[in-house]
Amino acid sequence: MPFRELVNQDHAVLLLRTAVRSDRVSHAYLFVGPRGVGRHNAAIAFAQLLNCERADGDACGQCRTCTLIASGQHPDVRVVDVAQGRLLDPEDTTKTGIGIKQVLALRREVVYPPYQSRWKVYVLVDADAMTNEAANSLLKVLEEPTVVSRCQLVRFSLIPSPAIERALVERYGVPKGRARFVAALAGGELGRAVRWVTSEETQQRREQMLDLLERLEQADPLERLDAAEEFAQDKDNLPELLEIALFWYRDLLVWQQTGDEEQLINLDRRDRIAALATALSLALLNARIQAVEDAKDALEMNVHPRLLLETLFLRITPPTEPIPGRRT
């Protein structure tokens, strides 16, 4: 993927393109930033731009070189990604990060000129998880006291949710309503958003949670406890479930106060939002949001998932009952 396909990393892209244009490419770059914002894609785009047969400020993305790089088949552009099993030395069994054998293999290869392109490029994924032994060995290639001091830093930032939403709609064909929701939930990480829209399981989880939240408006206490037990089993996804709940009540509040569907995150459930927002008072909605916020705090403090959900679901009381007091 050439640079033009990256979402919202103009600063990093400008720096890298300028380096190529002015013929001042550094020997090593460290791409710093959160997960899922395009660091890996930028590294591939950079390797393409350096070697593309028809580069014009950006890689063409179409030539044989660009295609080989994109598919991981180019002999001069090597990716070390332990999690994906992409290794320079296949004998290496280090699982915690890039191990010494990878760096030794790199050092053996790097002394030879490129096979067929202008530049040899090594992309080390999750370089921060490199073992000490490997990092010390890498220094011998970089010839500087620390790995960081020899690398030019390229910073990547979180992507604003409107840009993620646009990318989901335009590139992944996600319907606008769902794109809005996923972008809001992705917390600036496009990679996370893309995983969600391409994962059946994640979509199901969201549907189940929203169905439950609607049901809770009518449910008796036993149903609430059952639901807590069921959802507590999915404890790895609890942070996400609580975010889903928060966005849901936020939507009810937004609709109640503005009636503006453009501002809804769960645009695909517009009709249900409209109905519930009419049935619930402002005080009840604020109490629900507070209940979810308290559950998020409890999660931070490692409260047991079932206890946390029981408390939360019991606090989402039907509109006819008095609002229970704050948990202490």
Asked if 1 interacts with Zn ion (CB under 5 A), we say: no
Could you tell me whether strands 77-80 and 29-32 are parallel, antiparallel, or unpaired per DSSP bridges? unpaired
Min dist CB 69 to Zn ion, Å, is: 8
- Of the candidates 306, 302, 298, the residue with the CA atom closest to the CA atom of residue 229: 306
Structure tokens of 129? Answer: 């998880």
Min dist CB 64 to Zn ion, Å, is: 8
Query: Nearer to Zn ion by C-beta: 52 or 105?
Result: 52
* Rg of the chain (C-alpha set): 25
Number of residues that bind Zn ion (CB under 5 A): 5
Min dist CB 62 to Zn ion, Å, is: 6
Query: Nearer to Zn ion by C-beta: 66 or 103?
Result: 66
Query: Nearer to Zn ion by C-beta: 60 or 142?
Result: 60
Structure tokens of 287? Answer: 């109490």
Q: Binding pattern to Zn ion, positions 35-74, x when CB under 5 A?
A: -----------------x------xx--x--x--------
Alpha helices in 111-220 (DSSP H): 132-142, 147-150, 161-172, 176-185, 190-198, 200-216
Query: Nearer to Zn ion by C-beta: 52 or 227?
Result: 52
Query: Nearer to Zn ion by C-beta: 63 or 169?
Result: 63
Min dist CB 131 to Zn ion, Å, is: 35
Structure tokens of 274? Answer: 């409209």
CA-to-CA distance for 167 and 164, rounded, in angstroms? 5
* Side-chain half-sphere CA neighbours of 238 within 13 A: 26
Site residues (CB under 5 A) for Zn ion? 52, 59-60, 63, 66
